[in-house]
Amino acid sequence: MSVFKALAELEEKGQGGVLCTILSSQGSTPRHSGSRMLVYPDGTIIGTVGGGELENRVIQEAIEAYREGISKRLVYSMVNPSEGDPGVCGGTVEVYVEPIFPKARLLIVGGGHVGRAVAHLGKWLGFRVAISDDRIELCNSKNIPEADEFYPVPIRELPAKTSIGPETFLILVTRGVSVDVEGLPALLKCNPSYLGIIGSKKRWLTTVKALQEQGIDSALLEKIRSPIGLDIGAETPEEIAVSILAEVLMIKNQASGKPKQYKDFS
């Protein structure tokens, strides 16, 4: 597979990687300007920047760059391994290491009225949208055409079906407390950037009590935002979706949620 095709698949599947490109080479080097390699977060690669110790070092730098979220410009002399050089070809090579992160993802549990509204608005805002519901008739492209992924499974099985990491904003708009109580023990073992649950304060207190009776640590429950969304007096599914995604964007953008102060140009 070519590097360019692999990059297209990253976008299609909502995955991340690191593009490593030789910017310049002087003298004798294994590969020349424009050579590319894609490094996945687990260290596997497509393409090459020359093989050997040079390539091994670039891969390690790429993994670190992805973890840190920064691009790097690397310069290697290929002259004297005894002094730390990665080869003896006699030239110099400059490599640009550029992390490519997956698009932020909404994982919406619940394909009812609110779930559909959140999916529609989330797609418009540029998120990758995933839907899960154990009711197959609600978890499909006919019911929610905006979704990119569908997981028609019980909520407790969801972590085994899809990765739930920092790129994921997990939104539970389920049909009741029993569904939340069934699924949260498994979901609390994941590491989403956001975990919010719809419902009234009374519903949430009922959920908390049931989870504590199962032995769930109170510190874990503090990670959950419920009732979900910002208080804008929302009532309709569409208004609730705005409330929820306003809160998601606040977390994603590390904002305060307070009224924005604008300069007076009068």
Residues 27 and 143 in one domain: no
Domains identified in the chain, total number: 2
Q: Are residues 49 and 130 in the same domain?
A: no
SS3 2: coil
Last residue of a domain, one of 100, 124, 154: 100
pLDDT-derived band at 80, boundaries 50, 70, 90: low
The verdict on 90 and 127 lying in the same domain is: no
Q: What does each C-alpha distance from 148 to 47, 109, 131 come to in angstroms?
A: 28, 14, 8
Per the domain annotation, does 177 fall within a domain?
A: yes
DSSP line for 4-29: HHHHHHHHHHT--EEEEEEEEEESS-
Report yes or no: 167 and 129 within 8 Å, Cβ to Cβ: no
Using a pLDDT cut of 90, give the percent of the chain over it.
64
Residues 165, 33: one domain?
no
CB count in 10 Å sphere of residue 153 = 16
Same domain, 65 and 154: no
pLDDT at 83 over 60: no
If one compares 30 and 255, the residue with the highest pLDDT of the two is: 255
- Could you tell me if residue 78 is inside a domain? yes
The per-residue pLDDT for 11 is 84
On whether both 65 and 125 belong to a single domain, the answer is no
Task: Report which listed range, 19-28, 76-85, 241-250, is most confident.
Answer: 241-250
* Model pLDDT for residues 87-108, shown as the tens digit of each residue: 556 678 889 999 998 889 999 9
Same domain as 48, residue 33:
yes
Query: Is pLDDT of 78 > 80?
Result: no
**Residue 237 counted as domain residue:** yes
| 71-75, 119-123, 148-152: segment of lowest average pLDDT | 71-75
Give the range of the structural domain holding residue 223, as residue numbers without chain letter: 105-252
What's the pLDDT at 14? 80
Q: What is the mean pLDDT of the chain?
A: 89
Same domain flag for 122 and 88 = no
- Distance (Å, rounded) from C-alpha 146 to C-alpha 116? 9
153: confidence class by pLDDT, cuts 50, 70, 90: very high
Predicted local confidence at residue 87, as pLDDT: 53
Q: Which pTM value belongs to this model?
A: 0.76
pLDDT at 90: 62
